[in-house]
Amino acid sequence: MSAGPVICFGQQPCGFFPRRFLAAKFTTARRLQAELGGEIVLFYHDSDHDPRETQTLLRHRRTGEVATLNFAFANRLQRKWSPLHLKRIPAGWQAGMIRQLGAYVPAEPLAAFKAAEGANVADFCLSVYRGLGLLEGVRVVRSSDPAFRRAACAIGDCFVDVPHGGEVVRARRVAGGFRLHEGGDAYVELPDAPFGSVQVSPTRETRLRWMQSVIRCTHYVAGAGEQAYLRREEAPEITFVPRDAIDRPEEALV
């Protein structure tokens, strides 16, 4: 544990080029570190499963038109329900995307994309973020890490990684089993089965308590959406700091 302040922020992989709001979190955390000292921790929530998290909004360099790009996924089941750290990237996707990106991305970030490595979505995003210099001096803690999960507190409201259809899916724990959200009011019900802590990841409502039981941060940089649902009363020891404002927050940082 750090002897000084621990300045943390959480984020799912949020595009193969990071969204601008993530850049604002880094900027806010570094400003706090300059004032207070201590270390910066990125809680990388790569056990989330929503494929929309990695949508990447890029503005055409000549016309200004915005395009929404994303990873290709190995199959439909994996795309919908596998955790981001288990969504495999099909062969050829990176090369095909490189052929498109020149119209949207300057040379330096394009070089980071070309050099990026990772067989799954979460690893690839992290490799690009590192190539862009965002992770310099930042400790990355991943929610998919079995050691982290074993050390975290028990939570009743959770998702569980379970086998289904030849893949591992992130299913909501419900009474008597597990549930996958198909969309709207439709669900896929899965039978009950024993599971352990290394299969568990939090819901939005339990994420802060679960994260804090291991990281024990002193300051937390909260995004605009997080400020509405974080249960601050569960972590009164944390000083919450809103992230700095940034224009076009959903677009990619290039």
pLDDT in tens, 148-167: 999 999 999 999 999 999 99
When pLDDT is cut at 50, 70 and 90, the band that residue 230 belongs to is confident
Q: What local confidence, expressed as pLDDT, does residue 226 receive? A: 84
When pLDDT is cut at 50, 70 and 90, the band that residue 233 belongs to is confident
Least confident of 64-68, 134-138, 195-199, 221-225: 221-225
When pLDDT is cut at 50, 70 and 90, the band that residue 191 belongs to is very high
CA–CA gap between residue 79 and residue 51 (Å, rounded): 6
H-helix segments, the chain: 20-36, 76-81, 93-101, 107-115, 121-131, 146-151, 207-215, 226-229
Identify the DSSP state of 86.
G
Pairing of strands 219-222, 6-11: parallel
Query: What percentage of the chain carries pLDDT values higher than 70?
Result: 99
When pLDDT is cut at 50, 70 and 90, the band that residue 9 belongs to is very high
- Amino acid at residue number 84: L
Contact predicate 193/215, CB 8 Å = no
Alpha-carbon distances of 120 from 105, 138, 179, rounded to whole Å: 22, 22, 24
Query: What percentage of the chain carries pLDDT values higher than 90?
Result: 93
Q: What local confidence, expressed as pLDDT, does residue 141 receive? A: 98
Ramachandran region, residue 74 (left: φ > 0; alpha: ψ -120 to 50; beta: rest):
alpha
Q: What local confidence, expressed as pLDDT, does residue 229 receive? A: 82
CA–CA gap between residue 204 and residue 201 (Å, rounded): 10
Q: What local confidence, expressed as pLDDT, does residue 1 receive? A: 46
Angle, helix 107-115 to helix 93-101, in steps of 10 degrees = 180
Mean pLDDT of 89-115: 97
Average pLDDT of the chain, as a whole number = 96
Tokens of 101: 């990106």
Mean pLDDT of 63-69: 97
Give the torsion sign (CA, 40, 152, 129, 137): positive
Q: What local confidence, expressed as pLDDT, does residue 232 receive? A: 85
Domain ranges of the chain: 6-140+217-242
For residue 244, pLDDT beyond 50: yes
